[in-house]
Every structure is written in C-alpha cells, then in structure tokens.
Structure 1
Amino acid sequence: MSDDLPEIATAEPNRRPVAELLNVARRSWWILACCALGVAVIGLATSLAQQPEYESTATLYVTSGSDPNTQSAYQGSQAAQQRVASYVELVQSDAILTSALRDGAIGLTTDEARARLTASATPDTVLVTVSATDTEPVRARALTSAVAQAMTEYIETLEQPSGGGDSLAKLTVVSSASPSEQVAPKVPRDVAVALLLGLLVGLLVVYLRERFDVVVRNTSNVPPVVGAPVLGTVPHETELSEGGTINFAAGATSGAAESYRRLRTNLAFSDVDHPPRIVLVTSAGPGEGKTTTALNLAASIADGGDRVVIVDGDLRRPEVATRTGRVSAVGFTNYLRGDTGMAELVQPSGYLNLDVLTSGELPPNPAELLASDRAAEGIRELADRYDYVIIDSPPVLPVTDAAVTARCVDGVLLVVRAGATKAPDLVDAVDMLRAAKTKILGLVLNRVRGAYGSYRYTGYGTKTDIQVNTPADQPTLRANA
C-alpha cells in the first residue's frame, strides 16, 4: 500500500504506558485542575484559620573543665562532645523546667512548657540549641531565655566533683534568646503543598476513572477484543445536533466535513482488493448517531462523484424520510411485499448523485421481511444501479434486524458514540455480528471531543455552515444526531 494512504487507527493495546498516561492526563486536565484547585483552597483556608505560632532560639556552648583524666585540649573537646547528647535530653527534664518556670514567672505548667520546648545538637560540635514555640511571642522568648539560664546553672552543679573543685564541664550561652519569629502558619508553603497533594489526588482520580470507566471515550480505550479498525472520528459539533447534513461543496472545511471525507477515504481503502459497495451502518444501541453517520457518509460519497442510494432499513423506528424530507408512505416495505419494483420507489434527495429509499409503512414482522430472499434481491438490484448502497439499520443489541440484513452487504460500519457507548455493549454487538458471519469494516467514533477533524484548516478555506448545497426549491437533508 502506498505511503500516502490515510492512516487508520486500530484498537490495539497501547504499548507506551508513559505516553498513554500523559494523554490521559491531557484529556482529563479539568479533573486535575479541579482537584488541585480544590485541595489548594482547603489548604489555604486551613492555613489562615490556624493561630500564629512564634519561635525563639538560644545557643549554648559546652566546654570540658579540669578533669584529672583529661590530658589535652583535644581530649577535652571529645569529652564535651560526649556530654552534648546528654545535655539535649536534660532540656525537658523536670529539674530544668521547674527551675526555669520558678525563676522566669512565665505562667505555664511543667507539661505545657515541655510541649513547647525542643532541643538539638549540631553534629560533631559542642553546640546545643534550645527553642521554644508559643502563640505569644513574648512568652516564647521568655521561656527560651529561662531554660537556657537554668541549664547553665544546673550543669555547673551537676558536674561539680564530689571532692570539691572546679566543675568538670559547663554551659555558656553564646547566643541569647532571639526575638520571636512567626513559624506557623506558612501560607505560601501550605498552599504549595496542598496544590501538589491536589495534583496527586487528581492523578489518582484520573487513573481510577480510566481504569474502571466502561464508557468508550476515544480511540485509545476501544476494547482490544473488538479487533476492528477505527475508520473515522467525528468531532462533537453543535451544528450536527441541530440538523442538516454537512456541506461537502468545494471549499467546505468544517471539522465534521473533513471527518466524513476521511471516513469516505478510509472506507474505500479498508479492502483494496474488494472495495465495499454495499455498506450497512448500525450501532450497539439507540441514540449513538448511526442515521447521522449513514446520511453524511452517503452525502460525502455522492460529493465525490459516485452515485449513491441510502436505504432506510430500520423498519421499526425509521428516520431517513423525516430527515431528508421525503415521502415515507411508500418505500422498502412496498418492495418487500411485492407491490411494485424498486425503480418506482427510489426518490431523489435533492442532493446531487444521492437518492433515497425510505422505509415505507411499518410492518408487524420486520426481521422476517429483512431476512427474506426478496430483501437480498432488492439490495442487489440497487447495487447494480448505483455505485454505493448505504443502509441505515436498527441497533444490534435490541433487535436482530441488523444481523439478518448484514448477510446482504459487503460489510458493516459500527457507530460508537464517544462518552455514551459502553465497552461491554460494544463487545456484545461485535460478537453478535461475528456470530452472524458478518464482516465488520470498522468503527466510527461519533461526537469525539478534541478529534482530529475538529480543527479548521486556516488558509485553505473558510468555515461553512452545516447545510445542503441544493437549489432553494429542494428540501434540505436533515441529519440530527
């Protein structure tokens, strides 16, 4: 096959998990944004609601005194370092706290003071740091200063030799209790942490949504077991749901027009040796856009110069006559009953190269009529007269009409509505069609948000309205989604 042929997306499992994760995050950016913003707002509110806390710090220096066993300054330094860890533990002792609270008149109980104090030692030094945190800056500084003073006095007594003489070690305050600084809440830090936490929560939500979501939303999460290529993705456009087929006239470059042209091309190359000329368009369930797809596919093929007839094979809830403005009283069922020949029942659509065969009166036994030999003969007769026969059929799961009609066609296009069709339903529909020995040409994803076809080609034409390029006295084709 030539390199310039259109690329057809297949429903194979993605072998690039990192790239797929990035794609999922990009598609679900609004979930990430909402989670991050929501948690950040909570973090901001929580931070602002906290009562401010202030911290004061003092630094003490440990020296080793006249120990008879100390032979050098180095040994004295080593002895001082060995004492540092013990002095850190003494900061929160009852002896120190009782003395500090008594002398400092701070107005705290021993347990309250202990909860506000922390002490640490700088590794490989003889420095001890004492810090106090409180909601009142003056009290935090007073507590730090009182504890530092109590430590110097207590250590001097504690290290006094039993036989008298100078203390073996002492503490010296080298940095007095600093003015209290606010340490909490730190609003920027709290909001940044909350924002990061929100992003992580969002990623988890997106992962779980992608992992357990059974709705088909794009080509990447078409179940691999379907095993059918995605021949086209039709973007979500308001105009399609409001009515009218796409304007496929020269210069029309709307996203939907480009999508249906791409579908037309991919369909032609889906089987190069035996191009499908009789195509049945159906879906797993109702409301997935099968009639819209059938009408616009037929119109795009007709715009390419081929003669096309669209057949309303939905003998239960026909839509083609209403949407094309044709007479619905006579049509396919009249031929199936043997009332008249096919040539007398086909109606011009008002669109160049496109004719319409409506359903006719609704029969009580549509499945039996569609399974008859006469139905097959009529479809073959249309194929002899037209280049393409496009058949709009009922959905697969509710009734068997599509499965029995499929025996008369070259292949089936299965329409999937992105964001609505459930993967298990799609798999069941594919299984039912394959059980009927039906060739599935591929899938058409309808109403895809952010699809390739939704982009305009700036400089190659202007955006056109969704309407049929027909004379004013001809009825407009309607293609409601």
Structure 2
Amino acid sequence: MTTPAAAAEAPPGLDLTDYLRVIRAYWKGIVALTLLATLSALGWTVLQPKIYSSDSSGIVVTPGSDNVSLSLAGDSLAKAKVKNYESVAKSRLVADRVIAALGLDTTADALLGSVTVKVPLDTAEIRVTAQSTDPATAQRVADAWVNGLAAQVEAIETVPPAQAAVESGAAATPDAGTPAGATATAVRVLPLGKAVLPTSPSSPNTKLNLALGALVGLALGMAYAVVRRHLDRRIRQASEIERLFGVPAIGTLPADRRLEGRSSVLDTGTTEQIHDAGGAMAEALRELRTNLSFLDVDQPPRIIVVTSSVQAEGKSTVTANLAVTMAAAGENVVVVDGDLRRPTLVDVFNLVPGAGVTDVLTGTAELDDVLQPWGALPNLSVLGSGRIPPNPSELLGSRAMKTMLNTLAENAVVLIDAPPLLPVTDAAVLSRVADGAIVVIRSGRTTQEQLAQSLGNLDKVKGRVLGAVLNYVPTRGTDAYSYYGTYTSAPAAVPAAAPQPARPVVDSPEESAVEAALSGRRAKG
C-alpha cells in the first residue's frame, strides 16, 4: 500500500482529455470571464473618441529625357531623394506651413502627432495619413501636408543665383541671362490627386476590440479553470484513487435522492426494486459485491471493516446495502455495528435497539441471543452495538472481540460498520482483527489529504486495505455516473395466427419466496 506521501506527488501534465474535462467542469466560469472581458472591451470602445483617417500621396519626379540612360539616372535620383524627403515631411517646417495654410489653432508638435508619413519600398512615392475627430479636417490636413511638403522641397532644392554663379565659375551679373529669382529645381514633389473624405471612423476598431476582448477573456477563463483544477484537492473520480494512492476502486455508487439526509436500505432483493428508479444503485451494489468476491479467490475475506475518512460519507448506508445485496445472492451475512460511539445500524435496518456487541464482550449476553435476523432476508442478521461504553477502542481491540468475530465468520460473511478513521482510532484497531478494510469516499467532498491520512493510519497498524468505494457520484455533469439501464431477455414474438386461450398464472407462496431469494443472482449484461 502506498504511503500518505503519494498524495503529494505532482500530477502528470494535462492531455487533451484532461483539458476537455476541465472545460466541462468549469465552463460557467470560463463563459463568465469571456463575457466580462468582451463587455469590458465593448465599454472601452464606446468611451473612445471616433478618429477619422484620410490618405494623400505625392511622388518625387525629375526632368524627363529622351535618353534611356538619363531616364534611368533620373529614376534612381528620385528614389534616393525620397528617403531624404521622408524626414522633411516629418519636420516642423511642413507642419508650420500646414497650420498657416489652413489657419489651424494648434501647435506643430500636436499636428505632427496626428500625421503619419510612409515611403513604400523601392518607390518614389510619399504617403501621408492624417487623423482627426472631424473627417473634413482629416481630409484638408492630408492634402495640405502634401502641398506643404512640395513647397518645402522646392525651397530646399532651389539654388540662389549668387551660389549658382560661384559654382559655375562666373560672376553673377544681371546681364548673365539668369533670372533675378532662383534657378529652376531639378527634383520636385507632385501631389497625386485629392484626399478622400472619410465616411467611417478608422479608430476605434469595434470588431477587432471585441475579438481581442473575447480572446483575453477566454485565456483568463482557461487559466482560472486550470488553477481551480490544481487547487481542488477533492476526489471526484475512481481513477484518481488508483493513480494517486495505488488502491483499487472496487465500487462506484451513484447519488440517490432517497438517501438524502438519512441512511436506509434501498434494495431488499425483490424483483420490483430491481426495475424501479433505483436500478442504478442496485446494479452498482451488485458490481461491488462481485468485485469484492474476486479480490482473493483462494482466500476470500470473511471479516470486512467498512469505514471512511470522516463522517457523513455514507459508510453505514454502504455497509447495510452491501449486506442486503450479498444476502440476496444466497450468502449468509452478519452485520456488526462496530461504531460504539454513534451507532446507527439498528435504525438503518429498523430493528429494536437493545443488547449488542458490548454485552457480548463483557459477558452479560450470549451471541446467539443478541443476533437479530432481518425479516426480509432470513440469511441476514444484525448485531447492534449495545450500550455505549466509556472505552470503545479498548473493547474493539480486545481478544474477546477477535474471538466473537471469528465465531461469526465460521458460517457467514461479517461486515463491520466502523467509525471514521480520522476522528478516532477504532476503525484502525478493528482492521487488525479483520481480513481487510473498505474505505468509503464521498465524491466531491473527501480530499486527497484526508484519504492519504486515513490510509496512513491503516498502514501504521498493518491493516489491509481491500479497496475503496467512491460514494455519492453525481448522475449529471462532468464526472457523472454511467448506467446503461436494465438488460433483460427480448419479449417473445406474437404469432399472427388466431389467439389461443391464455392459461392464468398463479404464483404460489413457494415460488414467490424462491424468486425473492434468487433475484440477486440474475446475471447482468
């Protein structure tokens, strides 16, 4: 058996099935976070001002020529110049020209923040994008920016007359044939049409913001689900018991609405209850009975302790209904109420309280006198707890207790309803004189730490763990109990011939008794 440290082992990485199970388990949280993030993105989008964008462009040109070589040289010159003009287009000089041309009430730095200049790769084109809360303003700024750039380039490329004369080696005189103004520019920027008036805002992008919000919310939801999965230490599946603790899960019992708030016997072995709404529970109990019989074929356990980690996990209900299911299969069964602190089996079987285990152990009553047969199944007897003693652990660990259990086990299978393992040591003491213990686990409530400590308590006294029973498994949801219904023989086909007179069938008392005794033996598919 594994030690309590097994529960602290890191779980393996999640595979696709685990992620799907996590999504099914925490889908409400995932959907809630996704919707919250999407609505937050929508609210942020609504609060943002609407920004309109307008595009305008210009092209750098050089004087044309019929010579191919000169034309290629001019094209290369234009592409080389456009890189420099990009910096000019982003300067305050152009911004000041636009402000003066349009009469804008703003600064050059503020206007530069609303204008974007780009030069496509390996072209002589300059593209200007202007943004504004007013679509008309965006259009006017885009056109004015290209025009301002053209004027600024012309001012830069224009050579003064004096400088041109010095560079040519001649004196600058009015009679030299040079105009009084500047010389013609070799490179200039020409606007490529007018900017278009925008009809819809370019920012904020509602669809993009909502998509990003949904993705962020989905990521947060998945993170929340995975964190919850790692922090949730409650046991929900039988596979977790086997994987974390190495203990076989010999039974899985579904939740039954008839057991809410009380312990009772559900299946008395009658034919009617096999086909009723509690068929899932009856079939699960028969599966538990079968698995228990195959734990050790050569030396099957005769004295079995049924316990749990803490109270309210359903151990008394499991003990009583397992005993009824075994007795319905024809086995002699004795149920012993080993909970000398809070006895409940007498109430579960609706028997008269009185003398019991403590009276037999103290010698004040004989064993045959205190055994109470259960009326529905004569081969099932119940031994109550008797008077509550001041020293339950000492009585349960005494030699008289071992002798009494061995005597009962000679002719019957003994099931002991023991107290929980964590609050008291009674169940661990009983496991020493028994052939093994069954630990009942409540799905969605018992934690890994509680089960690890319970198994550790049994391991300290060298008690044998026969297996674990996962109880109260939900019938709906991610970890729902699977039940495939009743498997019966097919109804006989009705012949097309004339109907024959039917012979009435009368069940005799003997036949009814046999049917009740053998109903638990009917094979399941």
TM-score bucket of the superposed structures, by smaller chain: 0.7 to 0.9
- The counterpart of 2:266, out of the listed 229, 236, 246, is 246
Counterpart residue identity of residue 58, structure 1 = S
Equivalent residue runs for 1:121-140 within 5 Å: 121-140=119-138
Cα separation, partners in 2 of 1:134 and 1:290, compared to 1, 3 Å = farther
Please list every run of 5 or more consecutive structure 2 residues that lacks an aligned counterpart in the other structure: 1-8, 165-182, 489-512, 514-525
Q: 1:256 to 1:40 in 2, by over 3 A?
A: farther
TM-score (norm: length of structure 1): 0.84
Question: CA-to-partner distance for each residue in 1:72-91, whole Å, 9 max, x for gaps?
Answer: 43343333333444434433
User: What's 2:290 paired with?
Assistant: 265
Report the secondary structure of 1:446's partner residue. strand
CA contact (8 A) 1:66 1:168 kept: no
**Percent of residue pairs bearing the same amino acid type:** 32
Q: How far off its partner does 1:12 sit? A: 12
Change (3 A) 1:296 1:87: farther
Report what 2:392 is aligned to: 366
Give the conservation status (yes or no) of the 8 Å contact 1:413–1:444: yes
The one-character-per-residue Cα deviations of 1:171-220 (angstroms, maximum 9, x if unpaired) are 42245244242123333332222122112112212222222333323335
Q: Read off the aligned partner of 1:154 and give its amino acid letter.
A: Q
> Match of 1:181, SS?
coil
Distance 2:237 2:310 in 1: 17
Q: Which runs of 5+ in 1 are unaligned?
A: 1-10, 462-469, 471-481
- Contact 2:337–2:357 at 8 Å: present in 1 too? yes
- Pick closer, same or farther for the CA change 1:207–1:12 going to 2, 3 Å: closer
Q: Which residue of 1 aligns with 2:203?
A: 184
Q: How well do the aligned residues superpose, as a CA RMSD in angstroms?
A: 3.0
Indicate the SS of the match to 1:99: helix
Confirm or deny: 8 A CA contact 1:331 1:360 kept in the other structure: yes
Deviation at 1:130, TM superposition (A): 1.7
Q: Give the equivalent residue in structure 2 for 1:357.
A: 383
Structure 1 match to 2:40:
42
Asked if the contact 1:98–1:110 (Cα under 8 Å) also holds between the matched residues in 2, the reply is: yes
Q: 1:454: which partner in 2?
A: 481
CA distance in 1, matches of 2:32, 2:130: 39
Q: Which residue of 1 aligns with 2:114?
A: 116
TM-score, normalised relative to structure 2: 0.77
Shift of 1:456: 4.5
Partner SS state of residue 113, structure 2: helix
Once residues 335 and 160 of structure 1 are traced to their aligned partners in structure 2, the CA distance between those partners, rounded to angstroms, is 123
Residue 192 of structure 1 aligns with an amino acid whose one-letter code is: A
With over 3 angstroms needed to count, the CA separation of the structure-2 counterparts of 1:272 and 1:153, relative to structure 1, is: farther
Identify the residue that residue 521 of structure 2 maps to in structure 1: none
Cα distance in 2 between the residues matched to 1:190 and 1:114: 26
Taking structure 1 as reference, are residues 361 and 204 closer, same or farther at Cα in structure 2, changes over 3 Å only? same
Distance 1:89 1:359, change over 3 A: farther
Provide the rounded CA distance (Å) in 2 between the counterparts of 1:180 and 1:202. Answer: 38
Query: Which residue identity does 2:372 align to in structure 1?
Result: Q
User: Match for residue 378 of structure 1?
Assistant: 404
Correspondence 1:38-437 to 2 at 5 A: 38-65=36-63, 71-161=69-159, 163=164, 164-174=183-193, 176-222=195-241, 224=243, 226-243=245-262, 244-247=264-267, 249-252=273-276, 254-352=279-377, 353-386=379-412, 388-437=413-462
Number of residue pairs aligned between Structure 1 and Structure 2: 450
Q: Alpha-carbon deviation of 1:265? A: 2.4
For the 8 Å contact 1:233–1:452, the answer to whether it is kept is: no
Greater length-normalized contact order (CA 8 Å, ≥ 6 residues apart): 1
Distance in structure 2 (CA, Å) of the matches to 1:188 and 1:359? 71
**Structure with max Cα Rg:** 2
The 1-side partners of 2:419 and 2:139 are apart by 82
Q: Equivalents in 2 of 1:303, 1:90: separation in Å? A: 98
Contact 1:54 1:140 in 2 (8 A): yes
Deviations 1:204-257 (A, max 9, x none): 122222223333233354485522122223334433324443346332464333
Distance 1:393 1:154, change over 3 A: same
Conservation of the 8 A alpha-carbon contact between 1:106 and 1:139: no
How far off its partner does 1:453 sit?
A: 6.7
Moved more, 392-401 or 217-226: 217-226
Superposed displacement of residue 303, structure 1:
3.3
Aligned partner letter, 2:387: E
